[in-house]
């Protein structure tokens, strides 16, 4: 794939928005770091984000929207959210709130969690892109997994050229630090320190933030071993089918549901959570799962399948 560099003018925004509309990925500047954007409603686009970054895990992504009003379409709002959003949005603060049912967002964007991380960015280029596109944009940092976050278009090019459709070049990022992430479903909790100091947040709330300690069960929701387990036991790497089993297939096999008959890992990732739910609804005695190649996105799929198959507490 040839990665285009777009300038932040009318033609550049139109082109970037059109690419997002086709499910392609566009890197764009925010006041924190460059984000790797994809349509948050499109499973394939979100799967491409994980693929382009080479992420070994499906951790939930931050969804970017142009305004508080749009944010309220996706999450259940509360007083703390109101106070903080009035004080700090647009800006480098992400709020984690309960996901509204029928939000229309990809299950991959939340890693199938009941909560959503959402933010209104302040950077004029990010704002303009969100307005032109007119939809929610999932965007982790635009760097390969494990590498330093990019604060210029050149950093993005160095890491992701050839793996994404376009880079919207808006110059260097001002903050250069990731957004501060707050959990607001419950007691306001600092989930990740970042560009907005916690003192400022505590002053606006009029109360101290609970801290979130590494090792706490909630640190990384996606890492709780059997968080995503369907009701039925699962048998992985199934090359044959036992009696009382339904097959969640991959590749050219005869299956109840097939993650990707063509053997495409991006398509399989896009279908993963939705198909686990569908399988569950069929109430099989056991779910057998075809072997998934353990490279590229296959590693993240296998990671998630192993958690789903882990013995239940
Ligand atoms: P990045 O997109 O690379 O800036 O990382 C996003 C961060 O937000 C990760 O550390 C996620 O674990 C965290 N995050 C996203 N969604 C949620 C959520 N629903 N609950 C808790 N943390 C979240
Ligand atoms: Mg990152």
110 lines ligand 1 (CB under 6 A): yes
Q: Report the alpha-carbon distance of residue 186 to residue 62 in Å, rounded.
A: 19
pTM of the model: 0.92
pLDDT at 177: 82
Q: Which residues of the chain, if any, have pLDDT below 50?
A: 217-226
Does residue 226 sit within a domain?
A: no
**Are 299 and 199 within one domain?**
no
166 lines ligand 1 (CB under 6 A): no
**Are 261 and 202 within one domain?**
no
CATH code of residue 167? 3.90.870.10
Q: Report the alpha-carbon distance of residue 204 to residue 297 in Å, rounded.
A: 41
**Are 206 and 245 within one domain?**
no
**Are 83 and 121 within one domain?**
yes
**Are 117 and 246 within one domain?**
no
**Are 199 and 243 within one domain?**
no
Please state the atom number of ligand 1 nearest to the C-alpha of residue 139.
Answer: 2
Atom 13 of ligand 1, nearest CA residue: 60
What interhelical angle do 297-309 and 265-281 show, nearest 10?
20
Does residue 101 sit within a domain?
A: yes
Ramachandran region, residue 159 (left: φ > 0; alpha: ψ -120 to 50; beta: rest): alpha
- Mind listing the pLDDT tens digit for each residue in 214-255? 555 444 444 444 456 788 999 999 999 999 999 999 999 999
pLDDT at 214: 54
129 lines ligand 1 (CB under 6 A): no
Q: Which residues pair with 4 in a beta bridge?
A: 166
The neighbour count for residue 177, using CB atoms within 10 Å, is: 17
pLDDT at 213: 63
**Are 129 and 238 within one domain?**
no
Task: Give the pairing of strands 62-64 and 137-138.
Answer: antiparallel
Does residue 272 sit within a domain?
A: yes
**Are 177 and 70 within one domain?**
yes
59 lines ligand 1 (CB under 6 A): yes
Show the domain range for 246.
234-309
Based on the structure, what is the number of domains in the chain?
A: 2
């Amino acid at each position: 794939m040839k990665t285009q560099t777009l300038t932040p003018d009318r033609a550049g925004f139109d082109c970037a928005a059109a690419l997002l509309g086709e499910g392609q990925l566009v890197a764009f500047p925010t006041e924190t770091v460059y984000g790797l954007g994809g349509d948050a409603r499109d499973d394939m686009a979100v799967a491409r984000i994980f693929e382009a970054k080479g992420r070994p895990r499906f951790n939930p992504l931050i969804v970017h929207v142009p305004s508080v009003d749009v944010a309220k379409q996706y999450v259940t709002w509360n007083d703390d959210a109101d106070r903080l959003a009035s004080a700090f949005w647009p800006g480098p603060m992400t709020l984690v709130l309960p996901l509204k049912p029928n939000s229309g967002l990809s299950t991959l964007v939340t890693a199938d969690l009941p909560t959503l991380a959402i933010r209104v960015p302040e950077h004029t280029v990010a704002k303009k892109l969100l307005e032109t596109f007119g939809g929610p944009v999932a965007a982790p940092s635009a760097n390969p997994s494990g590498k330093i976050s990019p604060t210029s278009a050149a950093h993005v090019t160095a890491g992701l050229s050839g793996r994404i459709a376009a880079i919207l070049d808006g110059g260097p990022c001002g903050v250069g630090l990731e957004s501060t992430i707050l959990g607001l479903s419950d007691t306001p909790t600092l989930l990740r320190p970042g560009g907005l100091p916690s003192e400022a947040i505590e002053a606006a709330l009029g109360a101290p933030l609970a801290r979130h300690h590494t090792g706490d069960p909630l640190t990384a929701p996606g890492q709780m071993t059997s968080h995503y387990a369907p009701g039925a036991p699962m048998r992985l790497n199934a090359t044959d089918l036992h009696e009382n089993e339904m097959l969640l297939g991959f590749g050219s096999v005869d299956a109840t549901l097939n993650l990707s008959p063509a053997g495409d890992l991006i398509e399989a990732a896009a279908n993963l959570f939705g198909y686990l739910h569908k399988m569950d609804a069929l109430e099989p005695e056991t779910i057998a799962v075809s072997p998934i190649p353990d490279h590229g996105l296959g590693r993240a799929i296998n990671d998630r399948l192993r958690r789903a198959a882990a013995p239940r507490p």
